Structure 1
Amino acid sequence: MSERHCPDCNVQMEKTNVTAEGVGDLYVETDREGGVLDRLGVGYQTPLHAFLCPECGIIKVYANLP
């Protein structure tokens, strides 16, 4: 995953992990044929990556698209 910049502070964001207690990796899941996620190239289970801004604390989550 390429580097990301904060839309508010314009500084490089740091890759981080976002988890829920008892849950492993986050991912997008879809089984809808022809839906918006399918049109975007998001597979049945597509990993998500989180980035944190060290200045303002905003966290952005991105799908790992091809």
Structure 2
Amino acid sequence: MPTRRCPDCGVTMEEATTRTSDGFELHLVTDEPKDGLLGTLGAKEKLKPTTYVCPECGLVRQYVDT
């Protein structure tokens, strides 16, 4: 994972786990169709974001590896 720096404080952000209240991981659904058969059936691409938290100011940011 790349090192992320807080845009406000300039310190290194810490990786965190983000889950729903039911314990499921978050996913971002794009407008891009999924590859293969599922894409032809209308399924959309899902991406898993990585969450980072600034230990100084508490800023939370999510990034998707592309």
Q: TM-score, normalised by structure 1?
A: 0.73
Runs of 5+ consecutive residues of structure 1 not aligned to the other structure: 34-42
| Residue 13 (structure 2) aligns with | 13
Residue 50 of structure 2 is aligned to residue 61 of structure 1: no
Cα deviation, 1:19-43, whole Å, max 9, x if unaligned, reads: 221142211112445xxxxxxxxx7
Runs of 5+ consecutive residues of structure 2 not aligned to the other structure: 34-43
- Calculate the aligned-residue CA RMSD, in Å: 1.8
Q: CA deviation at 1:64?
A: 2.0
Cα deviation, 1:14-66, whole Å, max 9, x if unaligned, reads: 00012221142211112445xxxxxxxxx70111000000000000011121x
Counterpart amino acid of 1:27?
A: H
Q: Which has the larger radius of gyration?
A: 2
Identity among equivalent positions (%) equals: 32
- Tell me which of the two structures has the higher relative contact order, counting C-alpha pairs closer than 8 angstroms and 6 or more residues apart: 1
**Aligned positions, number:** 56
Q: TM-score, normalised by structure 2?
A: 0.73
